Amino acid sequence: MDLRVRHAWLVVGLLLLPAVPADAQTGNYPNRNPRIVVGYPPGGATDILARLFGDWMSKRLGQQFIIENKPGAGNNLATEAVIKSPADGYTIILTNPANAVNASLYKKLTFNFLKDTDPVAGFARVPNVMEVHPSVPAKTVGEFIAYAKANPGKVNMASSGNGTSIHLSGMLFMSMTGVKMTHVPYRGSAPALTDLLAGQVHVMFDNLPPSMQHIKAGTLRPLGVTTAARSPELPDVPTVGETVPGYEASAFFGLSVPKGTPRAIIEILNREVNLALKDPEILAKVKALGGIPIAGTPEDFGKIVASETAKWEKVVTEANLSVE
């Protein structure tokens, strides 16, 4: 065959490559074990939700979704590891408020979460709960403000790490009330909660899911939820905003993948998350944890991440917060 003819056929073949059917592009996804990477130790809200939805997808898609806990640097180690992974749908980040907060809190990030990931699906919005160890004499938000002002710097506020929603919820509270507390960051919600239960720290604005059992057992005292409306799971607990007008904060959770992951794979994962949120058993577990489902398209979840990033950038800037 003439060399020019062969070259022409080669060009035609290359042009036809993008027309490969979606099933071939996904490689019958998943044909091996995907990983959901969680930026915190086991036991916190991110981990609880990752395992709940990971188990659902494992059963539905025929491959075990492995939950990999990779704590450190306020969720940034996990995020960076996922972003640097192949965009093939086998490495997924459990997206959480830190992904929105860190964009402005950390000044030397090697990635831009909004630009370097594709949104997949939302799980739920979850209120944080302002809770204290029973040794703290305050029984209301107002009483706590008075107690903390009478003991400036002596009240220790635990968090799951710099830049998390738990940290920023507390910083927003201090900014709006003039209260001064000593921030004690931990490598995740679970170890912070352990020390709060032991009385080593005094207050925490924890995600509601891991704290619910302790609140019901009476080993922690809830003072207020951080959302604009009261939580259906704690209807007798007022909002912080009822005492501090305008105060509002909530956590959000979902899945994201490295930028450029095939749309067909994103749609498979999105479909399964949305189906899970229609399942009575899964839905009951999400609601029992205080979660409000946020089913929708990948674009719907992307809008949530973008709006939360803008919201917390304003808080970080006004409070002059920074982490190197």
Give yes or no: residues 40 and 88 share one domain: yes
The CA distance from 183 to 278, in Å, is 39
| CATH number of domain containing 225 | 3.40.190.10
Domain assignment present for residue 1? The answer is: no
- Convert 106-141 to b/e letters by CB count within 10 Å (16 or more is b): beebebebbebbbbbbbbbbbbbbbbbbeebebeeb
Total domains, the chain: 2
- Given 207, 242, 277, the domain boundary residue is 242
**Mean pLDDT for the stretch of residues 36-40:** 96
Domain assignment present for residue 324? The answer is: no
Give yes or no: residues 237 and 221 share one domain: yes
Domain assignment present for residue 56? The answer is: yes
Give yes or no: residues 134 and 218 share one domain: yes
Give yes or no: residues 131 and 237 share one domain: yes
pLDDT digits (tens, 9 = 90+) for 112-156: 999 999 999 999 998 899 999 999 999 999 999 999 999 998 999
Domain assignment present for residue 256? The answer is: yes
Residue 97, CA distances (Å) to 34, 161, 165, 166 in order: 23, 12, 6, 9
Could you report how far apart the first and last alpha carbons of the chain are, in Å? 63
What is the pLDDT at residue 318? Answer: 79
Domain assignment present for residue 26? The answer is: no
Give yes or no: residues 120 and 46 share one domain: yes
- Given 183, 216, 242, the domain boundary residue is 242
pLDDT digits (tens, 9 = 90+) for 246-289: 998 988 999 999 999 999 999 999 999 999 999 999 999 998 87
Give yes or no: residues 39 and 120 share one domain: yes
Domain assignment present for residue 148? The answer is: yes
Share of the chain above pLDDT 70, in %: 92
pLDDT digits (tens, 9 = 90+) for 199-219: 999 999 998 888 999 999 999
What is the pLDDT at residue 1? Answer: 52
- Convert 145-156 to b/e letters by CB count within 10 Å (16 or more is b): bebbeeeeeebb
Give yes or no: residues 116 and 137 share one domain: no
- Using only the alpha carbons of the chain, give its radius of gyration: 22
pLDDT digits (tens, 9 = 90+) for 156-178: 999 988 778 898 899 899 989 99
Q: Which residues pair with 117 in a beta bridge?
A: 258
Reported as a pLDDT band with limits 50, 70 and 90, residue 26 is low
- The DSSP secondary structure of 235-248, one letter per residue, reads TTSPBGGGTSTT--
- Answer yes or no: is pLDDT of 34 > 50: yes
Domain assignment present for residue 27? The answer is: no
Whole domain around residue 91: which residue ranges? 32-125+251-319
Give yes or no: residues 157 and 225 share one domain: yes
- Given 242, 273, 292, the domain boundary residue is 242
Give yes or no: residues 215 and 226 share one domain: yes
Does this model's pTM top 0.85? My answer is: no
Domain assignment present for residue 112? The answer is: yes
Give yes or no: residues 230 and 306 share one domain: no
Give yes or no: residues 65 and 109 share one domain: yes
